[in-house]
Structure 1
Amino acid sequence: MASSTDVASESLTLQQVVTVINQSVVVALNIKLIERTRRIRAELKDLSRDYGQWTYGTLRDGDFTCGVRLPSALAQRLTPGQVGWWTGTFEAVARREDARGRMSQYDAWRFVASDFEAEGVSEHRTRLHQAEQELTQEGILPHVARAWRDDPLPWRIGLIGQPDTKGWEDVEAKLAGATQIDLHRIPVKISQVNSIVEGIHRANQESLHALLLVRGGGDLETFDQPAIVRALATSQVYTIAGIGHATDNVLVNAAVDRAATTPTDAALYVLGQLEARQKRETTEDLRQQNRMLQQQLAELTTRRQRNPWMIITLVVAIAAVVAVVVLVGSGR
């Protein structure tokens, strides 16, 4: 535990800061000490949300984490995994409940960074680079993305994720109204590598059109594990990953056929492919009707039947079908 002398200085490690915040004694004094902190040393764990002027993410020091808010102009110059000293101040934010319903103390504070002095990269980032090199030597990376298969409807889509998480629920909600999609659920423990790998293998044993691997919480670094990358890259089923936010980038994204920014985006991609397929079917049906009417008109003309009203009726019908074909085609 950090001493009063340690925390009284303006420069602290994030671990010292969180230790002070979590102390249950002399709370008022601890708040004053945190408010006086102007520099902390920590790793940039991730950048998860960009709201124009500000970008939000997470700082880490060992097992300790806290939120960070920094100018987007500064965030654009940074890469997750960098370690160094952050200049700024702490701000109070709403406390959140963890998975067990307990209130988190350090989530009540977020660091607002104004500058960053880099010292190097984290051990995790170094290991990630080594894993990427190994996967490249194995021929797993770079992955050549396959085109979406234009199979007849309905499509059977696999959903790999953890039930009762936001990502899982978002996909279910988006695909619920799609009558031409049969959603095949494959529940896994999203924080366990072996569980995810087994889920991918199970999906490949099913007659699926595509599989969606989605995350609804948990550590992003799980999706940097080589075992998951190998399972996805060698999948016989079209793969879509919806792991994080637009600014998150994990190794899994390099091994799938479609890397979506979020679970919702992954579901919307499937819906977009479905809509395009249905438009093509509608257009083809109309073109077939047009060909049949053209054939009937040709037969009437050949037989030289003298019923002008029937011919006029067919001509009008053909014109109407052609107009619909053009209208549907322009809306694609």
Structure 2
Amino acid sequence: MPLMIKSAAKSVETDVIQSALRTIDIEKSGLSALELALQNGLADPFRRAVDLILGLKGRVIITGVGKSGHIGAKLAASLASTGTPASFVHAAEAGHGDLGMISRDDAVLAVSWSGETAELQTIVAYCRRFSIPLIAVTAGELSTLAREADVVLLLPKEQEACPHGLAPTTSTLMQLAVGDALTVALLEARGFTALDFRVFHPGGKLGAMLSHIGDLMHTGDRVPLVPKGTPLPDAVMVLSERRFGCVGVLDDDGRLCGIVTDGDLARGLNLNLGAMRVDDIMTHSPKTVGEKTLATKAMAILNQHNISALIVTDEDKRPVGIVHFHDLLRVGVA
């Protein structure tokens, strides 16, 4: 490549990075302005919006058009998945039958940067006609939407990252951020837990991470167990047949009191293993988990202690199953 072309390519690459850095810097300023607003005038309406939504008998109906509509659809999905029933109704479709999706027990949250979006007029009028609470997310302090709303989450007017000031960039980021803030505030106010989260996320990686060990463990004859005092060669046979890399040892009351792993055997090759019993080589007080342990926590224990399997016990330390790290990897926990 000629030197001149190389220099031009390098210059373009530098310009692209500088453009990206400018965009991020401008959008950071927008988030900083939003943070400052939440510490001042935006704080009270934000609290009132949370209280209003918490007191609903129905759902939160999110509406908007264009880029604001895309942000609204994301907000509806986030709320619905974290314990706040929510749906998205496109403002342009509202006047063509979709107003029927809004009941008198609902509240409408309208997202519009200017607050003068023509398509919102129908849904705003519907809210006023039937006394349906209306929350506005807008930067238009004197706009029609702000005047009609019961609660106004007024966003600061900050510079768009678009050099022409036209493409929604900083504005949509602030809309997204205040939507996420609402979602998390409502989640925390409801006491929504990871176990609740799993109910709405049974599929994919999130579902796998939030699975209980009881859903994944092997049970019955698949669990490698021998009583205390078992000759080591017999225990090795059980270990080999079950193929979990370990065998649990039970005391006289059927409680887990130890474990023998293939690593223990490898470390004892210089010993007369054929003449020993499990008691002589087992690890006392092995790591265990319960049936309600989350799969992510079980994987963390395996990684922390560099082991490959965990025996699952009940509250009395009696074994009820076993889980291997391959079981966790198979369902997507990593």
Q: TM class by shorter-chain length?
A: under 0.3
TM-score w.r.t. structure 2 length? 0.28
Compare the two structures and name the one with the higher helix fraction.
2
User: Which structure's residues are more often strand, by fraction?
Assistant: 1
Q: Return the index of the structure with the highest Cα Rg.
A: 2
